[in-house]
Chain A
Amino acid sequence: MTAAQPLPTLEITALEKRFGETQVLRSIDLKVQNGELVFVIGPSGSGKSTMLRCCNRLEEPTSGAIHVSGKPMLGIPRKELDRMRLQVGMVFQGFFLYPHLTALKNVTLAQRKALKRPRAEAEARALEMLDKVGLKHKADAMPSELSGGQQQRVAIARALALDPKVMLFDEPTSALDPELVGSVLKVMRDLREGGMTMIVVSHEMQFAREAADRVVFMDGGVIVEEGPPEEIFGNPKSDRLKAFLSRVSGEAA
C-alpha cells in the first residue's frame, strides 16, 4: 500500500462463503473508502445479503479477510468482535426493533450496555439520532405503534447512535409499503450528505443513480462488474448485467 492511498473504511479481501457444499461467495474483493456510498445490486440468491452479513460476522466467512479501518474482523476473540461490531452499523429488511422497548430505549440499549455510556448521555444521543431521522416526537412510542417506515428509521437511529464507521443496509425499504419508502430513502440521503460511509443492498435503482458513488453488480457469488452509476446503468459491459438491468427495468415499467 502506498502512502497516497488512504486506508479503506471497510475492506473485504478474498472473501469466500460456503454453506455446506453450496459456494455462495467466491473471492469477493471490495474496498469502501471513507464517506463513500457503495450500492450493491444483483439477482436474488447472488449473495448480497451474505456478503453484508459476513462484514459484521452474523455469517461466519469460510475464508478471506474483513478489515474495518485497518482492524481485522476475523480471527479475534468474541469480546473484541463485540467491540468491532459497534463500528459496523446494520439495518435489516425486517427492522427488528425490540418490541418490548420504546423507540428511545431501542436506541439507548446498546449505547448503555455495549458502549457503557451513562444514561443521560445515551438518552441525549438517542434523542439527537431520533431527531435526525425525524422521529423525536415518537421517542416514547412502542414499535407496534409505529408504521413500517417509522420503525425502520428508528432502527437506523439505533445503529447510528453507536457512532459506527460504516453502515450496512440490507434491502432497507423492501418490506415497506410504497408510500413509506421515500421517508427512509430521505434519511439515507441525509446520512450520505453527512459523510457516512455506506454499503446499500437495494432494488431502488433511482436512489442508486442519484446517491451512489459506485455500483457493484453481483451474480452467482462474484462481483461481475462495478463502476460509477452512470457507467453501470448507462453502459453495462457484461451480458449478465445487461440481462439483469433489462429484467428489473421490465418489472418497474
Chain B
Amino acid sequence: MDFLDAFLNPEIIARYLPALIRAVWVTLWISVLVVISGLALGALLAGLRAYQKRWLSWPIVLFADLMRALPPLVLMLVLFFGLPSVGIILADWFVLYLILTLVLAAFVEEIFWATMTSLPRGQWEAGAATGLSFLQVLLHVIFPQALRMNIPPLVNRSLTISKMTAYGSVIGVKEIVSVAGSAQAFSGSATPLTMAALAYLIIFYPAMLLSRYIENRFHYEH
C-alpha cells in the first residue's frame, strides 16, 4: 500500500499526466528526427568516403572518431553554454537534436564503411562493368547490401541514441526526464518518475519489437 502510494499515486498521476504526455511527444519527435537525419547523414558520409579522395576522407574519419570518443553530454553542454558567449544562441531542443544526430551519424558512417569495404570487390566491378556510374553502384548495389547486413547494429544504435534524448533534461528540453524530474521535485512523490519509466517502455518496447520484425524480414543468405 505504501509502496503503491509512493510509486503510483493516482492523484499525482492525474495531476502530471497531461504534462508528461506532452513530454512524450517531445521525446518522440526529437528521436524520430535524430534517427532519420543521423542515418541519412551517416550514409552520406560513408558514400563520400567511398570516393577515396583524401581531402574528403580525412575530415570524415576525424569527425567520426571525435563524435564517437566524446561523451554526447559534454558536446551538448559545450554548445549550449559555450556558444552564447560568442553570440550564437541555439534553442535547447536544437542543441539536443544536433548533437545526437552527429553522434548517430558518426556510428552509422563507421558501420556502413566497414561493410562497404568488406563486400567482395566483384560487387563493385559487376556494377561498373554493366555501365553503372560510381554513384549508381553505390546507391543500387552497395548501400542496399550494407543496409540489410547491418539492420541489427543500426537499430540498436538508433534505440540507444533515442534514449539519450534524456540528456535534454540538463539543458532544459521539456522531454520526459526533465518533466518527470521537476514534477517529482514539486510533488515530493516518486510517482512521476515511475510514469517516466512507463513512458519510455511504451515508446521503446514497440520499437524493439519492430526492430525484431525488421531483422527477420530482411535477413537473407549471403
Residue positions of A touching B, CB distance < 8 A: 56, 58, 78-79, 82-83, 85-86, 88-90, 92, 94, 96-101, 109-110, 113-115, 142, 144, 155, 158-159, 162
Contact = CB atoms under 8 A, between A and B. Distances in A.
Nearest to A57: B128
Given A96-B123, A144-B222, A159 B133 contact: no
**Considering the complex of A and B, which 10 residue pairs feature the smallest CB-CB distances, nearest first?**
A110-B130, A144-B221, A96-B122, A114-B131, A86-B131, A96-B126, A90-B129, A85-B131, A100-B144, A82-B131
Interface of B: 120, 122-123, 125-134, 136, 140-141, 144-145, 148, 220-222
Contacts of A100: 144-145, 148, 220
B220 A85 contact: no
9 contacts: A79-B133, A86-B130, A89-B130, A92-B125, A97-B126, A99-B145, A100-B148, A100-B220, A101-B144
Nearest to A97: B126
Given A99-B145, A144-B222, A162 B120 contact: no
Which DSSP category, helix, strand, loop or mixed, fits chain B's interface?
Answer: helix
B133 A98 contact: no
B174 to A, nearest CB: 42
Nearest to B145: A100
A56 B221 contact: no
Contacts of A94: 120, 122
Contacts of B136: 113-114
Contacts of B125: 58, 92, 96
Contacts of B222: 99, 144
